[in-house]
Amino acid sequence: MKVNLVVTVLDFFLICSRFVSSKGDFQILIWYICADASTESVRDKAVKSPSSSPLVENGKQHEPSHHGNGNDTSVEGLLPKLPQADYFMEPSLEELAAKERGEPGYCGRVEDFVVGRHGYGSIKFLGETDVRGLDLESIVEFNYREVIVYKDDSKKPPVGEGLNKAAEVTLLNIKCMNKKTGDEYRDGPRVDRYRQMLMKKAEEQGAEFVSFDVAKGEWKFRVEHFSAYGLW
């Protein structure tokens, strides 16, 4: 049977005065008090230990977290790579990461994914596209009035896989110019003939003409798969 002995300083001296005539009893009393104090000290440490007590934040208790950043590491490995500063993608890299965390598997089914280069043009890949781990820098190349996807044919996947799929291409800097004077035409028969020429160019390259915005210098066409397309 366990007995807890709790005494004040005054009680201690009073008890000692009663047992001072018996040395053995006095030693037993001291041992009892020390043992009880030691037990209380161990109990207090266990209660106050931060590893066993919940965290308190903004007045609310939270269990200690033992999770690492493994999820962030796995998400980063799924994202496409596009390090060039003048290139861009839609959704952006940050948006893709956020979507993947909220909807695991999102990077395998990105709707109407866009890759572009500022001042040159863009490609919108129609429907769902698997962008997981794609090295876009080595796949997509924009030049003046030209775009190339999978420049190395030996690395081009079958039609419908990767980025070798149906897309809408927009090329910039497509302007109806007078080569001798440098004048730019915005309307009239010259522009009409220029539009007809773009329609023919698209057809020759196996593409479908969509539009020509003379004010923006923007030519749009659709392709079923990829090679090199442009106005040469």
Q: Tokens representing 85?
A: 């500063």
The pair of three-digit structure tokens given for residue 193, joined into one six-digit string: 């003939």
- End-to-end CA, the chain: 100
Active site residue 52: no
The four Cα atoms 173, 164, 127, 222 give a dihedral, to 10 degrees, of 40
Phi, psi angles (nearest 5°) of residue 228? -110, 130
Residue 108 CB: number of other CB atoms within 10 A? 13
- Amino acid letter, 72: D
Distance from C-alpha of 121 to C-alpha of 150, rounded to nearest angstrom: 17
Question: Cα angle vertex 111, ends 209, 170, to 5°?
Answer: 30
Contacts of 126 (CB under 8 A, 6+ apart): 112, 165, 166, 167, 168, 222
Round to whole Å and give the CA distance between 15 and 29: 9
Neighbours of 162 (CB within 10 A): 19
Across-strand partners of 213? 218
Q: Which of 21, 51, 53, 227 is catalytic?
A: 227
> Which residues are within 8 A (CB) of 189 and not within 5 positions of it... i.e. 6 or more apart?
none
* Catalytic residue ranges: 227
